[in-house]
Amino acid sequence: MDVAAADKLTSEAAAVLFYDRLFDIAPQMRAMFPDDMIEQRRKLMAMLAGVVKGLGNLEQVLPAAGALAKRHVSYGAKAEHYPVVGAALLWTLEKGLADGWTPEVADAWGTAYGTLSGYMISEAYGRSQAGE
Structure confidence by residue, pLDDT tens digits, 50-83: 888 887 888 888 898 999 999 999 999 999 999 9
What is the band of 43 on the pLDDT scale with cuts at 50, 70, 90? Answer: very high
pLDDT-derived band at 6 (thresholds 50, 70, 90) equals: very low
Express each pLDDT in 90-117 by its tens digit: 999 999 889 999 999 999 999 989 999 9
Contacts by residues 54-60 (CB-CB < 8 Å, ≥ 24 positions apart): 55/112, 58/115
CATH number at residue 63: 1.10.490.10
Total of domains in the chain: 1
* 96, 17 contact by CB (below 8 A): yes
Separation of alpha carbons 67 and 124, rounded Å:
8
Q: Are 15 and 96 in contact (CB under 8 A)?
A: no
Which residues span the domain enclosing 75?
3-130
Predicted local confidence at residue 131, as pLDDT:
53
